[in-house]
């Protein structure tokens, strides 16, 4: 009897340990993440462009026009362990920008330099490494440099010829990689590289002292703000973002026609059916031979998709600017390339610039953004995917830019989304269905796609009133947003989730005083319960005219609360 009793105890203990292991695995997303990501998508049948979404959560069925093929996902979970309602994002994209803890930030909230040239060897900065979040940000991008090793971006004397610029570089042991005049900022800027093996700081100091050099800085690194997408599929037309943003109602009135959006991103597949006839212009700032990229194609789709899917402004025109590239999967860019891209957008008729990328505070790009905003362009950027403890990322934290954070289908903040008083708005950015290269589709997440949706909403407002000034447009989006989280403005959602229909209704189709008359406008300005009935709100906006009284653009050193 004693032997049987001991055997029973051992069996019970073994069973308990198995259950415990399964529970731990489920909580960590180990071997469960993929199945849960598939299961969380509703089963959908879409006969038209506007999907009807069943609220039930079940295995995903993907049906494509090319044949009656059905793919059903079978969960790999034990029947006794139910999948969690929302998958915790355990895997972060390699495209996250490096972050650091408070002890390793400077007065502006930026990460201090890393050793071995982590900030291009910036002068006077500490070489300490981030310790507190080392495990959380232990990704390839977090270990990469904030700037390109041994490279400078310098404003040089505009009177110098190319031959003279090359001679200037040789005098200081440098090579001129590229240089050109940028009308946007009224300056000639060159990209230079150290070629004689001298320490970065020595070369920087000597080059900056030359009378032909007006300013000098590192060539900073920028990365796209998406989560690693699943492998491109044949598509699933589920688009909960449409209902969240009230796009079908807004599209009864406007579609973004005759509005031009510059997309500064990776390569876009202009041949994709979702993007047919939407790409008005192409500019490859990299002068590369790379093909289309999944990120750029997805961003363009969030704005102008118009086949099986629906973008936020399906009739807008896209200027496709390739500024991000690379062979390692995570496309990246630099100060010099972003400057070229902004200059092209401003010089070629863009009205809106979508910037779904992030980097450090960058004096040259701050200057270019101020000049772009002064021309009356609307600038929209991804808040960043570096998480709650990240310092502000740029260009989103620039006060001239509308910074957008990401939400999921339950209106919760995307776990990787940046926070801060510079967040202006939120928009759907978790499990977003978008085009992918070669006629395929993808499911992906990130503040990149939230920003793209808002860029499309901005295009709707400009079609509604072409003379709408950027500050009036920003205020309209803020006043009509659907409040989320803590009542009023907060550091997660800004003024709330964008409401395309309410915003369009708040803008008159002529130059009269804007009055919001949208039924069901849901901006919550206090702690009271939201009313279901129509709401009328007068928006105290600046003048709508874009041709006069252009206000001076602020260039505050710190992110301004909006």
Active site residues: 265, 295, 448
Burial class (CB in 10 A: 0-12, 13-18, 19+), 57: middle
Other residues' Cβ atoms within 10 Å of the Cβ of residue 86:
15
- Dihedral class, residue 166 (left if φ above 0, else alpha if ψ from -120 to 50, else beta): alpha
- Can you name the residues that pair with 213 across neighbouring β-strands? 156
- Can you name the residues that pair with 524 across neighbouring β-strands? none
Chain mean position to CA 159: 38
* Both tokens assigned to 461: 């407002």
Pick from 69, 39, 41, 70: nearest CA to 53 = 41
Chain mean position to CA 225: 5
3-state secondary structure of 283: strand
Pick from 437, 533, 516, 447: nearest CA to 476 = 516
The CA-based angle 394-266-87, given to 5 degrees, is: 75
- Dihedral class, residue 397 (left if φ above 0, else alpha if ψ from -120 to 50, else beta): alpha
Phi, psi of 433 (to 5 degrees): -95, 125
3-state secondary structure of 344: helix
Pick from 48, 72, 76: nearest CA to 58 = 72
**Where does 230-389 show beta strands of DSSP type E?**
260-265, 279-284, 317-322, 332-334, 352-355, 357-358, 378-382
User: How far is the C-alpha of 476 from the C-alpha of 52, rounded, in Å?
Assistant: 28
Three-class SS string for 452-507? HHHHHHHHHHHHHCCCCCHHHHHHHHHHHCECCCCCCCECCCECCECCHHHHHHHC
């Amino acid at each position: 009897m004693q032997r049987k009793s001991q055997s029973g105890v051992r069996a019970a203990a073994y069973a308990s340990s198995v259950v415990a292991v399964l529970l731990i695995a489920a909580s960590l997303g180990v071997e469960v993440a993929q199945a849960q990501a598939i299961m969380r998508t509703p089963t959908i049948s879409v006969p038209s462009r506007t999907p009807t979404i069943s609220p039930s959560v079940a295995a995903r069925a993907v049906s494509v026009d090319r044949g009656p093929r059905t793919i059903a996902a079978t969960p790999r979970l034990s029947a006794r362990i139910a999948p969690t309602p929302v998958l915790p994002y355990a895997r972060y994209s390699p495209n996250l920008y490096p972050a650091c803890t408070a002890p390793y930030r400077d007065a502006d909230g930026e990460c201090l330099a890393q050793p071995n040239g982590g900030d291009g060897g910036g002068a006077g900065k500490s070489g300490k490494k981030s310790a507190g979040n080392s495990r959380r940000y232990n990704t390839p991008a977090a270990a990469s440099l904030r700037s390109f090793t041994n490279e400078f971006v310098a404003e040089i004397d505009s009177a110098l010829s190319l031959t003279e610029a090359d001679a200037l570089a040789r005098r200081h042991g440098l090579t001129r990689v590229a240089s050109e005049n940028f009308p946007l900022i009224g300056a000639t800027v060159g990209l230079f590289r150290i070629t004689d093996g001298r320490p970065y700081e020595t070369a920087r100091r000597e080059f900056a002292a030359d009378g032909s050099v007006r300013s000098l800085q590192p060539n900073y690194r920028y990365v796209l703000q998406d989560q690693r997408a699943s492998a491109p599929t044949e598509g699933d037309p589920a688009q909960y973002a449409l209902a969240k943003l009230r796009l079908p109602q807004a599209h009864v009135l406007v579609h973004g026609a005759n509005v031009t959006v510059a997309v500064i991103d990776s390569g876009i597949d202009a041949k994709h059916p979702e993007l047919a006839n939407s790409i008005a212009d192409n500019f490859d700032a990299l002068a590369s031979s790379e093909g289309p990229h999944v990120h750029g194609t997805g961003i363009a789709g969030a704005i102008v998709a118009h086949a099986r899917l629906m973008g936020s402004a399906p009739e807008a025109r896209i200027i496709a600017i390739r500024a991000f590239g690379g062979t390692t999967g995570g496309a990246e860019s630099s100060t010099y390339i972003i400057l070229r891209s902004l200059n092209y957008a401003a010089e070629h008729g863009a009205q809106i610039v979508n910037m779904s990328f992030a980097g450090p505070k960058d004096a040259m790009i701050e200057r270019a953004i101020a000049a772009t905003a002064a021309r009356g362009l609307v600038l929209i950027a991804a808040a960043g995917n570096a998480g709650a403890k990240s310092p502000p990322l740029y260009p989103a934290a620039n006060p001239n830019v509308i910074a957008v954070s990401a939400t999921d289908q339950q209106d919760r903040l995307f776990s990787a989304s940046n926070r801060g008083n510079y967040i202006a708005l939120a928009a759907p950015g978790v499990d977003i269905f978008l085009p992918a290269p070669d006629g395929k589709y993808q499911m992906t997440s990130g503040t990149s796609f939230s920003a793209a949706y808002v860029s499309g909403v901005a295009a709707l407002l400009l079609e509604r009133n072409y003379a709408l000034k950027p500050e009036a447009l920003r205020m309209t989006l803020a006043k009509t947003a659907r409040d989320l989280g803590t009542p009023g403005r907060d550091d997660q959602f800004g003024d709330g989730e964008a409401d395309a229909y309410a915003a369009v209704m708040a803008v008159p189709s002529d130059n009269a005083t804007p009055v919001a008359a949208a039924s069901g406008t849901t901006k919550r300005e206090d702690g009271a319960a939201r009313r279901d009935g129509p709401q009328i709100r007068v928006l105290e906006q600046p003048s709508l005219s874009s041709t006069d009284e252009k206000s001076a653009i602020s260039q505050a050193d710190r992110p301004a609360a909006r």
